[in-house]
A and B are shown apart, each in its own frame.
Chain A
Amino acid sequence: MTSQLSAEAALALVVNGEPRTVAPGTTVGALLASLALDPRLVVVERNREILRDRDALGRIALEPGDVLEIVHFVGGG
């Protein structure tokens, strides 16, 4: 993704339990797009807060240290 960025410029996150870096200013919507995820089929939780308004995802900028959980529905009983 943004491995070409220097450590100072990169913004460190934890996404689904894994460390990731993105460019400063990256929005939640842009992160989903970079992961090829359809925002209508996932739910994003940021620092334990559910981002309920999908239309706003493209306006929410990620912050250093953000912990994101991106979930969806899988088979279950």
Chain B
Amino acid sequence: MTATHVGPAAPHAVAADDPLVIGGRRFASRLMVGTGKYRSNDEMVAAIGVSGAEVVTVAVRRVDLDRTKDEGVLYHLDPSRFFLLANTAGCYTVDDTLRYARLARAAGFNEWVKLEVIGDQESLLPDAHGTIEATRILAAEGFKVMAYTNDDLIAALRLEDAGAIAVMPLASPIGSGLGLLNPYAIRTIKHRLSVPIVVDAGVGTASDACLVMEQGVDGILMNTALAQAQDPVRMARAMRLAVDAGRDAYLAGRMPRREVAVPSSPTTGLLG
């Protein structure tokens, strides 16, 4: 058959997405990544580089004075290349959370904190009440609080009221890799809040990340899905593509679901 191309000379350009803006700051990527649990620092640096993430989370811990453990993460990650987002992981009380957040700010990079008040050691599920209280106190001190929380609309609304600049509902428990358990809850939170929604925790593989982004949320934060993949660098690329794919699919608007088949090819012009 002779190929007679009569279509447009160039493919249509796809309109650019709006940039992600949180707390008045513009971010280059909707994918944010943690720095924990990698098998080596080299692997961490490579995976984070490939992920394209700008926001990287770090934890505040005692310096090991005997140097039996690895040195701080800043020996490996250039803080001028990334936006450091300190977390309060491991805090179970409001007082501890405030202490860790204030120590993190004193490090001098920024006044942002990924606030976690954990309510239960086994499930690592957040204590919504404590998180709301800590958010109110830290926001009043000038912190920019990104608040980790359950996929609960009321908690999310209260966090927004308390001054969170972003709310971070979980997809499923931290480190579980169970993926997005309640798409409806995440969509509802996104629909009802004005501040950006960044889903945090629970993503296991690329399809999970894609599904999260298809709900219309503003971003996603993950750590274990990269760090504990067999090949974190390749998984980082998969996640970058999945986040972009999910975002594009959301912006494109999916076709309606139907319970019956509808043919894609013409039903006229069939041979007699």
**Which A residues are closer than 8 A to B by beta carbons?**
15-18, 35, 37, 41-43, 45, 48, 50-52, 54, 69-77
Contact = CB atoms under 8 A, between A and B. Distances in A.
12 contacts: A41-B75, A54-B108, A70-B63, A72-B72, A73-B72, A73-B84, A74-B36, A74-B61, A74-B73, A75-B44, A77-B59, A77-B201
B185 interface: no
Contact of A77 (B34, B62, B70): B34
Given A76-B59, A77-B36, 7 more contacts: A17-B62, A43-B103, A70-B65, A74-B36, A75-B36, A75-B37, A77-B222
Interface of B is mostly: mixed
Contacts of A16: 62-63, 65
Contacts, number: 96
Interface residues of B, number: 37
B181 interface: no
A27 B261 CA distance: 78
B262 interface: no
B3 interface: no
* Shortest 3 CB-CB contacts between residues of A and residues of B: A76-B59, A77-B223, A77-B34
B241 interface: no
The interface centre, meaning the residue of A17, A43, A74, A75 with most chain B CB atoms within 10 A of its CB, is A75
B123 to A, nearest CB: 16
Contacts of B57: 76-77
A41 to B, nearest CB: 6
Interface string B68-108: 00101111000000001011010000000001001110111
A49 to B, nearest CB: 10
Interface of B: 34-38, 44, 57-63, 65, 70, 72-75, 84, 86-87, 89, 99, 102-104, 106-108, 174-175, 201, 221-224
Contacts of A48: 99
Contacts of A72: 60-61, 63, 72, 74, 107
A17 B74 CA distance: 23
B63 A42 contact: yes
B65 A76 contact: no
Given A41-B74, A45-B103, A52-B106, A75 B35 contact: yes
A37 B36 contact: no
Given A35-B65, A42-B63, A76 B58 contact: yes
Contacts of A69: 62, 103
A1 B87 CA distance: 34
A73 B89 CA distance: 12
